[in-house]
């Protein structure tokens, strides 16, 4: 019998999902590769190497990509190493230690809200020396989503109003903050800000968001692979 098309394959069953030591081992390996990939991204956007070197590196990277074989995750599939919603997301573009795109931001609950810490690099630059405005929105959107989850209501952004007061420096430890300011039925109102770790009292960027907790039927349609 031939193998089913990749897009029809299901995720691992509960019985085959890695646990304990095996899960830790897999997550450490994912984190190590993510770390090296971020170093590669940083080197890629900084280098002034001549074209011959870039061509040689391109060939090497293509060979490495070819080694990442095995079954490939398909759209909507929740990785076996993740806990969704509200737990580890190894490949999140914001918090995922396995993502070459993520800073990654470390998230810690605090009494009055939720805090994210990260340092962005030149790969995240907009104006020279400063963070791209879309990156600031991405950090805040993610952390404001965490604030909703922490308040007991996983929710999705329906509106995010950004205010850019001062430019956010790259290569500088940042403190992102989010807290729920109110709720109204399925709507959650969240405020957020970005400052530097050194002087978090100066808000460089602030945001007001409206999040909506989808009703159960909508959640099942949007996330059919959620346990
Ligand atoms: C579930 C947890 C997942 C967490 C993952 C991490 C998330 C990180 C943050 C994100 O990046 S989320 C990704 C970006 N957001 C989206 O893709 C959401 C796209 N929007 C939708 O899919 C639907 O709008 C949604 C499922 C969220 C809600 O659809 P529903 O059909 O359940 O709700 P409905 O449209 O009836 O709206 C509910 C209420 O919100 C109100 N509303 C909708 N859009 C609004 C808006 N833009 N501003 C203010 N209020 C708004 C709407 O008027 C209504 O108010 P009332 O009940 O008082 O009438």
The ipTM of this complex is 0.92
Q: How many CB atoms lie within 10 A of CB 118?
A: 21
- For all residues of the chain together, what is the average pLDDT? 92
With a 6 Å cutoff on the Cβ, whether 156 touches ligand 1 is yes
Together in a domain, 80 and 154:
no
Beta bridge partners of 131: 125
Share of the chain above pLDDT 70, in %: 93
What atom in ligand 1 is closest to the CA of residue 156?
12
Angle at the Cα of 93 (from 23 to 158), degrees rounded to 5? 120
CB 111 near ligand 1, within 6 Å: no
Q: Compute, in angstroms, the gap from residue 161 CA to the centroid of ligand 1.
A: 14
Q: For residue 38, tell me if it sits in a domain.
A: yes
Q: Say yes or no: 28 and 98 in one domain.
A: yes
Region 182-187: what's the mean pLDDT? 96
Instruction: With H, G, I as helix, E, B as strand and everything else as coil, classify residue 138.
Output: helix
Decide if 76 is inside a domain.
yes
- Residues 99, 146: one domain? no
Kindly state whether residues 208 and 114 are assigned to the same domain: yes
Number of domains in the chain: 2
> What pLDDT sits at residue 100?
97
Model pTM score: 0.91
Nearest CA to ligand 1 atom 48: 159
Q: Which contiguous run of DSSP H or E holds residue 221?
A: helix 216-222
Q: Going by C-beta distance under 8 Å and a sequence separation of 6 or more, which residues neighbour residue 131?
A: 120, 124, 125, 167, 168, 169, 170
Structural domain span for residue 84: 1-104
Task: Determine the distance separating the centroid of ligand 1 and the alpha carbon of 83, expressed in angstroms.
Answer: 22
């Amino acid at each position: 019998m031939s193998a089913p098309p990749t897009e029809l394959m299901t995720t691992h069953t509960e019985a085959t999902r890695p646990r304990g030591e095996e899960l830790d081992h897999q997550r450490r390996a994912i984190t190590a590769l993510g770390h090296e990939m971020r170093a590669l991204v940083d080197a890629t956007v900084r280098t002034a190497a001549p074209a011959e070197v870039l061509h040689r590196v391109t060939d090497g990277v293509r060979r490495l990509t070819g080694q990442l074989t095995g079954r490939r995750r398909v759209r909507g599939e929740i990785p076996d190493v993740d806990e969704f919603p509200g737990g580890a997301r190894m490949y999140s573009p914001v918090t995922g230690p396995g993502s070459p795109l993520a800073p990654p931001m470390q998230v810690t609950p605090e009494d009055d809200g939720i805090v994210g810490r990260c340092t962005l690099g030149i790969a995240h630059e907009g104006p020279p020396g400063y963070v791209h405005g879309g990156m600031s929105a991405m950090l805040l959107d993610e952390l404001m989503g965490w604030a909703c989850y922490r308040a007991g209501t996983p929710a999705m952004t329906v509106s995010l109003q950004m205010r850019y007061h001062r430019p956010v420096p790259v290569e500088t430890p940042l403190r992102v903050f989010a807290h729920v300011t109110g709720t109204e039925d399925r709507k959650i109102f969240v405020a957020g800000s970005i400052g530097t770790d050194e002087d978090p009292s100066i808000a460089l960027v602030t945001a007001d968001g409206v999040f909506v907790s989808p009703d159960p039927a909508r959640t099942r349609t949007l996330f059919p692979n959620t346990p």
